Structure 1
Amino acid sequence: MFWIKYGLIVVLVFVCTLIAKLILRKLFKIEKVKKEFFSYNHINELHRKVDKRLKLFSTVTMILLLSVMWFYFEEFNYLILIAVIIFAVLDYLVRAFFEWRCTQYPKQSILTLTEMFLVLIAIIIVFQFNLFV
Protein backbone atom coordinates (compact mmCIF):
# COMPACT_ATOMS: atom_id res chain seq x y z
CA MET A 1 0.00 0.00 0.00
CA PHE A 2 2.92 2.30 0.73
CA TRP A 3 4.23 2.16 -2.84
CA ILE A 4 0.80 2.85 -4.31
CA LYS A 5 0.42 5.95 -2.14
CA TYR A 6 3.97 7.02 -2.92
CA GLY A 7 3.48 6.59 -6.66
CA LEU A 8 0.17 8.43 -6.58
CA ILE A 9 1.67 11.35 -4.66
CA VAL A 10 4.65 11.58 -7.04
CA VAL A 11 2.38 11.53 -10.10
CA LEU A 12 0.07 14.12 -8.53
CA VAL A 13 2.96 16.48 -7.72
CA PHE A 14 4.41 15.98 -11.21
CA VAL A 15 1.06 16.78 -12.87
CA CYS A 16 0.48 19.84 -10.65
CA THR A 17 3.98 21.12 -11.45
CA LEU A 18 3.43 20.56 -15.17
CA ILE A 19 0.08 22.38 -15.13
CA ALA A 20 1.52 25.28 -13.12
CA LYS A 21 4.42 25.61 -15.55
CA LEU A 22 2.08 25.60 -18.54
CA ILE A 23 -0.10 28.30 -16.98
CA LEU A 24 2.91 30.44 -16.07
CA ARG A 25 4.40 30.02 -19.55
CA LYS A 26 1.19 31.36 -21.07
CA LEU A 27 0.75 34.08 -18.45
CA PHE A 28 4.29 35.48 -18.55
CA LYS A 29 5.07 34.51 -22.17
CA ILE A 30 8.04 32.36 -21.17
CA GLU A 31 9.64 30.51 -24.04
CA LYS A 32 10.32 26.81 -23.63
CA VAL A 33 14.02 25.99 -23.31
CA LYS A 34 15.16 22.59 -24.54
CA LYS A 35 16.92 20.59 -21.82
CA GLU A 36 18.20 17.07 -21.79
CA PHE A 37 16.22 14.74 -19.55
CA PHE A 38 18.94 13.34 -17.26
CA SER A 39 21.66 15.97 -17.30
CA TYR A 40 22.89 18.61 -14.92
CA ASN A 41 21.98 21.52 -17.23
CA HIS A 42 24.39 23.95 -15.61
CA ILE A 43 24.03 27.53 -16.77
CA ASN A 44 27.75 28.29 -16.88
CA GLU A 45 31.04 27.19 -15.32
CA LEU A 46 30.48 29.18 -12.12
CA HIS A 47 27.09 27.52 -11.65
CA ARG A 48 28.73 24.11 -12.10
CA LYS A 49 31.35 24.93 -9.45
CA VAL A 50 28.83 26.34 -6.97
CA ASP A 51 26.49 23.40 -7.51
CA LYS A 52 29.31 20.90 -7.04
CA ARG A 53 30.42 22.55 -3.79
CA LEU A 54 26.85 22.76 -2.51
CA LYS A 55 26.30 19.05 -3.22
CA LEU A 56 29.59 18.13 -1.55
CA PHE A 57 28.74 20.25 1.49
CA SER A 58 25.23 18.81 1.72
CA THR A 59 26.52 15.23 1.41
CA VAL A 60 29.12 15.69 4.15
CA THR A 61 26.60 17.48 6.37
CA MET A 62 23.99 14.76 5.88
CA ILE A 63 26.50 11.99 6.67
CA LEU A 64 27.59 13.79 9.83
CA LEU A 65 24.00 14.51 10.82
CA LEU A 66 22.96 10.91 10.22
CA SER A 67 25.85 9.53 12.25
CA VAL A 68 25.25 11.92 15.15
CA MET A 69 21.50 11.27 15.07
CA TRP A 70 21.99 7.52 14.87
CA PHE A 71 24.26 7.27 17.90
CA TYR A 72 23.13 10.11 20.15
CA PHE A 73 19.74 11.60 19.31
CA GLU A 74 17.53 8.85 17.91
CA GLU A 75 14.32 10.65 18.88
CA PHE A 76 15.01 13.64 16.60
CA ASN A 77 14.55 11.86 13.26
CA TYR A 78 12.64 14.79 11.80
CA LEU A 79 15.87 16.81 11.67
CA ILE A 80 17.05 14.63 8.78
CA LEU A 81 13.94 15.58 6.80
CA ILE A 82 14.43 19.25 7.61
CA ALA A 83 18.06 19.08 6.44
CA VAL A 84 17.06 17.40 3.17
CA ILE A 85 14.40 20.06 2.56
CA ILE A 86 16.86 22.89 3.30
CA PHE A 87 19.46 21.52 0.90
CA ALA A 88 16.86 20.94 -1.82
CA VAL A 89 15.61 24.53 -1.44
CA LEU A 90 19.21 25.80 -1.59
CA ASP A 91 19.76 23.84 -4.79
CA TYR A 92 16.62 25.31 -6.38
CA LEU A 93 17.56 28.83 -5.24
CA VAL A 94 21.06 28.57 -6.71
CA ARG A 95 19.64 27.33 -10.01
CA ALA A 96 17.02 30.12 -10.08
CA PHE A 97 19.65 32.75 -9.29
CA PHE A 98 21.89 31.63 -12.16
CA GLU A 99 18.92 31.42 -14.52
CA TRP A 100 17.91 34.95 -13.56
CA ARG A 101 21.37 36.54 -13.74
CA CYS A 102 23.35 34.58 -16.33
CA THR A 103 21.07 33.38 -19.13
CA GLN A 104 19.31 34.92 -22.07
CA TYR A 105 16.03 33.56 -20.62
CA PRO A 106 15.78 35.10 -17.13
CA LYS A 107 12.06 34.30 -16.87
CA GLN A 108 12.98 30.62 -16.52
CA SER A 109 13.79 31.40 -12.89
CA ILE A 110 10.07 31.96 -12.31
CA LEU A 111 9.41 28.37 -13.36
CA THR A 112 12.22 27.05 -11.17
CA LEU A 113 10.95 28.91 -8.11
CA THR A 114 7.40 27.73 -8.80
CA GLU A 115 8.58 24.13 -9.00
CA MET A 116 10.46 24.58 -5.73
CA PHE A 117 7.41 25.95 -3.93
CA LEU A 118 5.11 23.23 -5.27
CA VAL A 119 7.48 20.45 -4.22
CA LEU A 120 7.94 22.07 -0.81
CA ILE A 121 4.18 22.40 -0.33
CA ALA A 122 3.72 18.77 -1.37
CA ILE A 123 6.30 17.59 1.18
CA ILE A 124 4.68 19.66 3.92
CA ILE A 125 1.20 18.33 3.07
CA VAL A 126 2.39 14.72 2.98
CA PHE A 127 4.03 14.91 6.37
CA GLN A 128 1.43 17.16 7.97
CA PHE A 129 -1.41 14.79 7.12
CA ASN A 130 0.66 11.61 7.65
CA LEU A 131 -0.15 10.30 4.18
CA PHE A 132 2.55 7.61 4.26
CA VAL A 133 1.13 5.81 7.28
Structure 2
Amino acid sequence: MFWVKFGLIAIIVFVLISIVKLLLRKLLKIEKVKKELFSYNHINDLHRKIEKGLRIFSAIALILLSCVLLYYFEDLIYLVLIAVIVFMVLDYLVRAFFEWKYTQYPKQSILTLTEMFLILIAIIIVIEFKLLGSY
Protein backbone atom coordinates (compact mmCIF):
# COMPACT_ATOMS: atom_id res chain seq x y z
CA MET A 1 0.00 0.00 0.00
CA PHE A 2 2.94 2.30 0.71
CA TRP A 3 4.16 2.23 -2.90
CA VAL A 4 0.68 2.87 -4.29
CA LYS A 5 0.33 5.95 -2.07
CA PHE A 6 3.86 7.08 -2.91
CA GLY A 7 3.26 6.69 -6.64
CA LEU A 8 -0.04 8.56 -6.47
CA ILE A 9 1.50 11.41 -4.49
CA ALA A 10 4.46 11.59 -6.90
CA ILE A 11 2.12 11.76 -9.91
CA ILE A 12 0.00 14.48 -8.26
CA VAL A 13 3.11 16.53 -7.43
CA PHE A 14 4.50 16.10 -10.97
CA VAL A 15 1.20 17.20 -12.54
CA LEU A 16 0.92 20.15 -10.16
CA ILE A 17 4.48 21.28 -10.95
CA SER A 18 3.81 20.97 -14.68
CA ILE A 19 0.60 23.02 -14.46
CA VAL A 20 2.20 25.75 -12.33
CA LYS A 21 5.21 25.98 -14.65
CA LEU A 22 2.92 26.20 -17.68
CA LEU A 23 0.90 28.98 -16.04
CA LEU A 24 4.04 30.88 -15.05
CA ARG A 25 5.41 30.56 -18.58
CA LYS A 26 2.21 32.06 -19.96
CA LEU A 27 1.87 34.82 -17.34
CA LEU A 28 5.52 35.91 -17.25
CA LYS A 29 6.24 35.17 -20.93
CA ILE A 30 9.12 32.80 -20.14
CA GLU A 31 10.57 31.00 -23.14
CA LYS A 32 10.66 27.21 -23.03
CA VAL A 33 14.25 25.97 -23.02
CA LYS A 34 14.92 22.56 -24.56
CA LYS A 35 16.44 20.16 -22.02
CA GLU A 36 17.40 16.55 -22.51
CA LEU A 37 15.74 13.95 -20.34
CA PHE A 38 18.00 12.47 -17.63
CA SER A 39 20.94 14.78 -18.25
CA TYR A 40 22.59 17.27 -15.93
CA ASN A 41 22.01 20.32 -18.18
CA HIS A 42 24.83 22.37 -16.69
CA ILE A 43 24.85 26.06 -17.49
CA ASN A 44 28.63 26.33 -17.78
CA ASP A 45 31.82 24.64 -16.58
CA LEU A 46 31.78 26.39 -13.20
CA HIS A 47 28.23 25.17 -12.59
CA ARG A 48 29.30 21.62 -13.47
CA LYS A 49 32.21 21.77 -11.03
CA ILE A 50 30.17 23.26 -8.18
CA GLU A 51 27.33 20.78 -8.66
CA LYS A 52 29.72 17.85 -8.84
CA GLY A 53 31.41 18.99 -5.63
CA LEU A 54 28.05 19.46 -3.93
CA ARG A 55 26.92 15.98 -4.97
CA ILE A 56 30.12 14.35 -3.72
CA PHE A 57 29.96 16.27 -0.44
CA SER A 58 26.28 15.47 0.05
CA ALA A 59 26.82 11.76 -0.67
CA ILE A 60 29.67 11.52 1.83
CA ALA A 61 27.78 13.57 4.43
CA LEU A 62 24.62 11.48 4.06
CA ILE A 63 26.51 8.20 4.33
CA LEU A 64 28.37 9.38 7.44
CA LEU A 65 25.22 10.82 8.98
CA SER A 66 23.30 7.60 8.32
CA CYS A 67 26.03 5.46 9.85
CA VAL A 68 26.40 7.64 12.93
CA LEU A 69 22.67 7.92 13.49
CA LEU A 70 22.03 4.21 13.00
CA TYR A 71 24.86 3.24 15.31
CA TYR A 72 24.50 5.82 18.10
CA PHE A 73 21.13 7.60 17.80
CA GLU A 74 18.52 5.33 16.22
CA ASP A 75 15.64 7.53 17.37
CA LEU A 76 17.04 10.52 15.41
CA ILE A 77 17.11 8.77 12.01
CA TYR A 78 14.65 11.33 10.63
CA LEU A 79 17.60 13.76 10.52
CA VAL A 80 18.75 11.94 7.37
CA LEU A 81 15.53 13.06 5.66
CA ILE A 82 16.14 16.64 6.76
CA ALA A 83 19.71 16.45 5.39
CA VAL A 84 18.42 15.11 2.05
CA ILE A 85 15.96 18.02 1.87
CA VAL A 86 18.69 20.55 2.69
CA PHE A 87 20.97 19.18 -0.03
CA MET A 88 18.07 19.16 -2.51
CA VAL A 89 17.38 22.82 -1.73
CA LEU A 90 21.08 23.66 -2.16
CA ASP A 91 21.11 21.93 -5.54
CA TYR A 92 18.06 23.88 -6.72
CA LEU A 93 19.49 27.16 -5.41
CA VAL A 94 22.79 26.63 -7.24
CA ARG A 95 20.92 25.84 -10.47
CA ALA A 96 18.66 28.89 -10.07
CA PHE A 97 21.66 31.16 -9.41
CA PHE A 98 23.47 29.98 -12.54
CA GLU A 99 20.31 30.28 -14.62
CA TRP A 100 19.82 33.81 -13.34
CA LYS A 101 23.40 34.99 -13.79
CA TYR A 102 24.86 33.08 -16.74
CA THR A 103 22.14 32.24 -19.28
CA GLN A 104 20.32 34.01 -22.04
CA TYR A 105 17.05 33.24 -20.24
CA PRO A 106 17.36 34.48 -16.64
CA LYS A 107 13.62 34.06 -16.07
CA GLN A 108 14.18 30.29 -16.05
CA SER A 109 15.41 30.70 -12.48
CA ILE A 110 11.84 31.63 -11.48
CA LEU A 111 10.64 28.25 -12.73
CA THR A 112 13.46 26.44 -10.93
CA LEU A 113 12.71 28.18 -7.62
CA THR A 114 8.99 27.55 -8.05
CA GLU A 115 9.65 23.85 -8.62
CA MET A 116 11.82 23.75 -5.50
CA PHE A 117 9.15 25.40 -3.36
CA LEU A 118 6.41 23.11 -4.67
CA ILE A 119 8.49 20.01 -3.90
CA LEU A 120 9.24 21.36 -0.41
CA ILE A 121 5.57 22.07 0.22
CA ALA A 122 4.66 18.57 -0.98
CA ILE A 123 7.23 16.98 1.34
CA ILE A 124 5.99 19.04 4.30
CA ILE A 125 2.35 18.12 3.57
CA VAL A 126 3.18 14.41 3.25
CA ILE A 127 5.11 14.42 6.53
CA GLU A 128 2.68 16.62 8.46
CA PHE A 129 -0.45 14.69 7.48
CA LYS A 130 1.35 11.29 7.55
CA LEU A 131 0.06 10.47 4.08
CA LEU A 132 2.49 7.57 3.65
CA GLY A 133 1.60 5.96 6.95
CA SER A 134 2.88 6.25 10.46
CA TYR A 135 6.58 6.57 11.15
SS in structure 2 at match of 1:75: helix
Deviation at 1:4, TM superposition (A): 1.0
| 1:77 CA displacement | 1.4
Q: Which runs of 4+ in 1 moved over 4 A?
A: none
**CA root-mean-square deviation:** 0.4
Matched AA of 1:71: Y
Is 2:99 aligned against 1:99? Answer: yes
How many Å apart are 1:80 and its aligned residue? 0.6
Residues 1:58 and 2:73 aligned together: no
1:30 is aligned to 2:24: no
Counterparts of 1:40 and 1:110, CA distance in 2: 18
After TM superposition, give the deviation of residue 76 of structure 1 in Å.
0.3
1:48 paired with 2:42, answer no
> What is the SS of the residue equivalent to 1:105?
coil
Counterpart residue number, 1:18: 18
Q: Aligned partners of 1:39 and 1:123: how far apart in 2?
A: 24
What is the TM-score with the length of structure 2 in the denominator? 0.98
User: In the TM superposition, what whole-angstrom CA distance separates every residue of 1:62-89 from its partner, at most 9, and x where no partner exists?
Assistant: 0110110010000001101100000000
> Which residue is 1:112 aligned to?
112
Q: Matched residues in 1 for 2:7 and 2:67: separation?
A: 29
d(CA) in 1 for partners of 2:117 and 2:39? 22
Which secondary structure state, in structure 2, belongs to the residue aligned with residue 31 of structure 1?
coil
TM-score by length of 1: 0.99
Q: Mind listing any 5+ residue stretches in structure 2 that lack a counterpart?
A: none
Whichever residue aligns with residue 124 of structure 2, its letter is I
Match of 1:76 in 2: 76
Question: How many positions carry a matched residue from both structures?
Answer: 133
Alpha-carbon separation, structure 1, partners of 2:94 and 2:59 = 17
Report percent identity of matched pairs. Answer: 69
The corresponding residue for 1:6 is 6
